[in-house]
Chain A
Amino acid sequence: MYLNKSTIDIQTQLASYCRTGQEQEIEKVSQERVKHYRRLVFSNVKNTLETAYPITLEWLSDDEWLKLVNDFFEMHDAQSPKIWELPKEFMEFVTQNKYAATFNKPALNNLLLVEWVEIEVHTMMDKEWPAVEARGEVLLLTPEYQLLHLDYPVHIFNGDDAQDKKGDWFIYIFRNRETDGVQFLNISALHVFVLEKLYETPLTLDDLLPIISAVFGLNDMKTLQNHLKTFFSDLRKKGALLSKIA
């Protein structure tokens, strides 16, 4: 290491001032001008987070939002060299540090998660199509997706209303292969199971039926088959199911 301690200290002081906004004497640094660094650095981070979390921004009060951004930038050491990945670190920070309880907004973590996952599914690397055995009509799903289990339906209602509807909420978030747009689908626990099975191994509807019927104790095969056909035709319409339905 060629750097002297005093040079390192100066660099550390300037960076720490930018993160906290707390003025400190730095050798040969004008107090008047250094303010621009704090302003530029902070507004860059704040804008990035506001673009990523527009719904959270609107739901929280200005003071709450500013507290989150300030605390995050001051206390969290940002790890990703890519600023567009910073919102993920923000979500994790807010969740781990229990701001949902501090603000008495229990749906906060779910809302941040949903807003982040929308970005994640939109930007995730293109995945290979699963290798499929050439037999029957296999149900092939779009490979860029996430399944979420929420306590509050923040994907359907605004934050305040969602908080009155605590329960088990499942969402299937996927990227449409043609439009590259991200779509949300509110689904049931049974659908989650079906999707998880198909993402493990693409199966035909005929393969799938006995498995579902055994796990969920549903013996009326005709009704189950119709139910699943409706589900898959919906998925097909929305661009999640890439293959035709048997």
Chain B
Amino acid sequence: MGKVGLGFRRDIADEFLENESFTPDFIEFAPENWMGMGGYWKKVLDKAAERYPITCHGLSLSIGSPEALDYHFLKDLKQFLKEYQVSIYSEHLSYTKSKNAHLYDLLPVPFRDDAIKHIVSRIKEVQEILERKIAIENVSYYVTPGAEMDEATFVKAIVEEADCELLLDVNNVYVNAFNHGYDAIDFINKMPLDKVSYIHMAGHEKVSDDLIIDTHGQPIIDPVYELFDSTLRKMNPVPVLLERDFNFENFDAIVEEFGQLKSITHKAWEVNHVS
């Protein structure tokens, strides 16, 4: 119950393989950053895979793109997920490819009915090809191109109609609520919490009075811990991941943050599931 993991990255690979005082319950990485690679990094990955269960968080599927899915990539991905016995494969509810070009970042999809239908059909297709359910993540976004509905309506409709799982990123909920002026708890309450199979937690950076950027480079702030705590009490236990993409100098602080997540998780879910 209450498994907590940390994102596996090259900069901190040693901490996962050699630091005896730090043992996450599982690790997560982007398949795109390791697929089709041999040599030194393959050995490092294989060592980590021997030691930890794995979840994968994709970057390039581009589920929200107008263009066709990349079937060649999906075939390689399927093989990779199988080879590393990946328990959860998640992707972002966004697009990163346009007009046959990758942009390698997450752009917000218009919150519209036609986009819901389009994305639902693509998730179904991906699930059929991969022969598994995928978890779709609520992303942070700073603009709302062509929006005709709110985010909660959009996300909920997609998860329910596609019959996929939801990766609930609690920090993203906080960031989006702040940036777009909605209530974070209200958003969580609107989510199909029975579909949540995975949770993300992370830090962010406030760049101006009215804008937070989701950087994954800072410590988690208290209000996000509070939102996390209250969310856990509304749902069944699922794995929780601490996302940290840079600023690893003070690794002890990250270990501490990790411990904090573990303790909140245990408290929330022990109380709820004693019977």
Contact = CB atoms under 8 A, between A and B. Distances in A.
A102 to B, nearest CB: 23
A45 B102 CA distance: 10
A19 B42 CA distance: 32
Contacts of A6: 146
A3 B115 contact: yes
Interface residues of B, number: 46
Contacts of A7: 66, 110, 112, 114-115, 146
Contact of B39 (A13, A16, A48, A175): A175
A36 B39 contact: no
B213 A36 contact: yes
A84 B29 CA distance: 15
A11 B40 contact: no
Nearest to B76: A81
A18 B35 contact: no
Interface stretch (A56-64, A121-129, A215-223, A228-236): A121-129
Given A82-B35, A123-B41, 7 more contacts: A7-B66, A7-B115, A11-B65, A15-B101, A37-B143, A81-B73, A180-B40
Q: Which one of A6, A7, A27, A86 has the greatest number of beta carbons of chain B within 10 Å?
A: A7
Contacts of B101: 15, 19, 76-79
Interface of B: 32-33, 35-43, 59-60, 64-66, 70, 73, 95, 98-105, 107-110, 112, 114-115, 117-118, 121, 142-147, 207, 211, 213
A3 B122 CA distance: 12
Contacts of B211: 33, 36
Interface centre among B64, B70, B99, B105 (most CB of A within 10 A): B105
Contacts of B98: 11-12, 14-16
Interface in A1-48: 1-4, 6-8, 10-16, 18-19, 26-30, 33-34, 36-37, 40-41, 44-45, 48
16 contacts: A11-B95, A12-B99, A14-B145, A16-B98, A19-B101, A26-B145, A28-B147, A29-B145, A41-B107, A78-B101, A78-B103, A82-B35, A84-B33, A84-B37, A122-B39, A126-B38
Contacts of A96: none
